[in-house]
Each structure stands twice: as structure tokens, then as C-alpha cells.
Structure 1
Amino acid sequence: MFRLGGLLVALGLLLLVCLLSIAVGVESIPLGTVWDALVSGAVDYDSKVIVDLRLPRTLVGLAVGTALGLAGALMQALTRNPLADPGILGVNAGAACAVVFAVGFLGVTAPLSYVWFAFLGAAFASLVVYLLGFRGSTGPVRLALAGTAVSAVLGGLTSTVLVRDAATLEVVRLWQVGSLAGRDLSVVGQLAPFLVVGLVVALCMAAPLNALALGDELGSALGARIGLTRVLSGIAVILLCGTATAIAGPIGFVGLVVPHAVRIVSGPDQRWLMAYSMVAAPVLLVGADIVGRFIVRPGELEVGVMTAFLGAPLFIMLVRSRKRVRL
């Protein structure tokens, strides 16, 4: 009952954050007006701002946050590594590098086309990090170092393309930082099937991952199919991270911090951990986006910058306040 109550509280907080995201901007709109615009379909100026600009931005934040939070929880369970994260393990860097190369050399400009290259880059980075990190050792530090090295190489390649090609930089400038602005619902609708498949596959892996947490031999004795679980979990991570990066650009720390934070309440059970991560991650992402609108008002800081500012200190605090997490 405690975990269920906590999840309901998190859902209420998510609803509140979404309403604030719609209400807050260059000009704040009262929550009553927001509610009327969403329910009654009014056509005044404030309602058009809400429906055409702020509602799509909020829904993008929900979709991307859910994907990154679930991917982070899945990666930490799959690798038994509390440092695993789409950013730290190079998945986001791989997806971003592939998209920048597609824009710079193939002339790709549509977000729906980005996703295929994002998938390819995420899959390549995941494979390289896995081979480097598990070669002769399964320690979490080795895996994190492999991810950092791969991210650095891919980041260098990405920067090289952007420095040498001003046109590509102009196309991907805001996307590369990580932004929820300027995305409409058609983009989310086009990419929704990939997110849905990734979510379904990830949630189906909760029980097998609980078994694998006991070790490969004991997990296999309990009926978990080790190889299939790892393959399907890897596919889910690629689908979730690739799609989220294609929509909003590479956004770090969400998939790392959220599973750590919610594990205090959810415990090690992957079913609860994934459920909490799916709710808490968009709270962090949309909340960071709201804070970014206030800091340099009437301008704004992109959400990718804000998650780094908010996520890094939070992660340090969690690490210092808890003993090493054992998955």
C-alpha cells in the first residue's frame, strides 16, 4: 500500500507539473484559463497559445521523459550497474552523432527520418560499449569508463561535423542541446509507435530482470531465458533512447538520476521501479523545462542544459547519502 500510495502522489505531482508547464511562459496564463482551454475548446488568444504551443511542448516532455526514465531503469537492471544511463553509456551520443551525420552528409531534415539514424547510432554505441565494458571484466566502473570513452569519441566526431558545416549546425543547433521547444504533436504522433513498442517490451522484461538480479544461474533456474531477456531489453533501450533523442535531442542525467531516486520508495522490484521511473522522469524533465523558462526570462535555457544543472547535484547527493546500490 505504501508503494501504491507513493505512485499516486507521483501521478498527482505529474499532473500539477503539466498544468504549470502549460501555464508558464513569456506571459503566464492563469490555471483556470488553462483548464477552460483544455476542456471547453475556447478560441481566444490565450487558448491558441495553449493548444498550439504549450500543450505540444508538454506532451513532448511527457513522452521523452517517460522513455528516458524507463530506459535508465532498464539499463541499470540489465547491466546490474547503478551507473548505467543512456548518456553515460554512450547511447545518446551514438544517436546524436548518427543524426548529425545524416543531416550533414545526406541532407536529412525531417524528425521522422532522424529516428532511423538515431536507432542506428544508439545500437552501434550500445554494442561497442558492451564489448569494451564486458571484455574480461564485468565491473560497473569499467563499463562506465567504456561509455565515457565512446561518448567522447562520438562527441568529437559530432563537433567536427558541426564546426565545419554551418548549415548543419543551424539545423541541429537547438536539437543537439536538447530542447522541447518547437516540436508539434505530429512529430510525437509519427514516432509514437516506436515509443509504444519500446514501452511494452521494457515492461514485459520486468519479471525476467527480477530473476536475473539473482545471478544468471539462479535466474535461469527460476525460468528466465537469459539470452532472450538481454536481447529484448537491448532492443527496448534502443527504441526508447533512439526515439527520445530523435524527438528532443540528447538529454542527459534523467535516466541516471530518476531510478536512483525512486528506488528509495520502490525498492529493487523492477515492476515498481519501472512504474515509478515512468512517472518521476517526466516530472523531472518537464519541471526542468519550467525552471529554464524563469532563469533568463523573457528568454529561456534549453531543457538539456537544465537537466545537467539539476541532475548532477541531485545525483551527487544521492550517491553521498546512500551506500552503494545493489540491484
Structure 2
Amino acid sequence: MNNQIQQNRPEGTTSPRVQQHEIDEERAGQRLDNYLLTQLKGVPKTLVYRIIRKGEVRVNKGRVKADYRLKGGDVVRIPPVRISEKSTPKAGQRLIDSVESSIIYEDERILVVNKPSGLAVHGGSGISLGLIETLREARPQQKFLELVHRLDRDTSGCLMVAKKRSALRDLHEQIRTDRVNKTYWALVEGRWASRTSQVNAPLRKNTLQSGERVVRVDPEGKPSLTRFRVLERLRDCTLIEATPVTGRTHQIRVHTLHAGHPIIGDDKYTAKEVNQHFREQGVRRLFLHAAALEFDLPGSGKRQRFTAPLPDELEQSLVTLRHE
């Protein structure tokens, strides 16, 4: 059994009774808190952690912590909880159609999506819903849909989604052992020197007084390496290919900045006057695109490379800059 909490109740109602979920092999290995967040859609995270902490959630009749890794055959007790309808925004049909039409590849184990710029990969931090919530709404019959990795909200391009827990484990292991190759295209300010073939600079997350999170090069940060190649030189800017060897937050954006060539259209790391200059020439968004992914297909082990063409608005901005 794997009973699901019913959704779409009027605001202020609760689940009708205690739920008992038996964990199957597809869910084995998932953290308890992450499992509950997928089962209790519409319930605030703070409440989910509170019912775990108070012992209202039990695994095999015992108290466990939020980071407990579920095992096949575990029985999870979920208490009645308040579900707020306002907390469960619905994706419009236009958004669902946009995401479905962006799928590059699909089999019974995975999806590869050409994520549009401006769409977060998941909801949270003031964002009501993202790509993964949209996919789950579009495919209510799909028992399992999880992000394999992430892209920044304004970055477009190739993104992997697992349809089975076994595929998620496989792809995470490939990422951990450097068998997933990611290729990005970026337009940076100035003339990128061909001799700058890589940036090896440790990165550290920081929180500003305003609460904004930024990443900085810091000797005490985590080791970070990105390889670069010049694709095309344009007036006052360069189109480059970036291949991250490590996978730190904002790695490409901060490494290009560290090299003296910030990415055009980056509101967080690029000077406003630079962005304004290129906005007038047609670059109106972050020019960073996940152009390709290469990995072994879960199940078959076949090596496969998937590509996503530049979005029309980025391609058109290049045409304008070439004309200039």
C-alpha cells in the first residue's frame, strides 16, 4: 500500500484520518522530510518539520528524525494535518503546455526538458510553483517525479527529471563520479582571452545584510573548477562555452566575473550599466543557457548526448550584435 493524502479540500480542513504509507523500493533511500513534503502538498514546511519533531510522524511505530532514510517495507504514520488551499497554486494550462512542449527526451525512467528562462525549477522562497510542480500537475498518474539537478531561474536549457527512484539514484551516482557532462553557452562582457581556458577558484556562499544570498570567491570556500572555450567574438563581448567540472551554486556566473568578464544580463553579479548597455542592443535577460547534457541512460547504460538550441530571444540578440 502507499495511500495518498487527498488534495483540493477547502481551506482549513484536515486530512480525515491517520495515514499509513508502506514504502516501496522506488521510494527507498529518500529522506523522511522530503517524502512528507511530496505527500503533504499544501502543508507549510514548518508544520511538516514540527510534526516530525513532536513525534506525530512515526516510522515502524518509532520516532525518527527528519533526515532518516526510508527503507523498502517501512511503514510511515502520517497524522491528520491542516491543508491550506491557498498554499497549493495551480499551474495554468498555458504553463503546462509550455513545459510539456519543452520536453527533449522521455522514456520510462527519465525526462530531459529544455527549461524556459524565468521558470524556477521548483517552488519556494516567494515562488508559488516551478517546473517540477507543473509536471506533477500535468501528470497526476505519475507516482514519482523528482529533479535530478537544478538550474537557476533565469538560466534556460537542459534539465534532467527522474521518473523512478532507481533512475534518480543512478544519475546522482553519475554526477558524484563525474560521468555527467554539462555544457553551457554564455555571453560575457569584453574580449575573453583564449589563454583563459579554465578558472580554478574556491566558492563560498554568503548572506548580505539585506538577506540576499550571493556567492563569492573565497580561499575558505569549496574547490570549484570551470573550463572555458571561446565560440565567437563580437563587439565588446564574447560568446563562450563553459563546462563546470564541479557543481557549485552560481559557479559559472561567479567564475566568469572572477575572470573579469561577467555574464551579460546577470542582475546579481554584473554591473547595472553593463546590463543597460547591452539591453539597448537586445540582450534583455541573463545570457546563460544549458546547451547540452551527456550521461549514461539509466537502465540501458547507453551513453547519450542531448542538446537544446539557444532560445529565440538569445539567438536574435546575437544577430543584432553581429550586425553592430
Per the TM superposition, whether the score is higher than 0.5 is no
Higher strand share: 2
TM-score (norm 2): 0.28
TM-score (norm 1): 0.28
Whichever of the two has the greater Rg, that structure is 2
* Greater relative contact order structure (CA < 8 Å, 6+ sep): 1
Higher helix share: 1
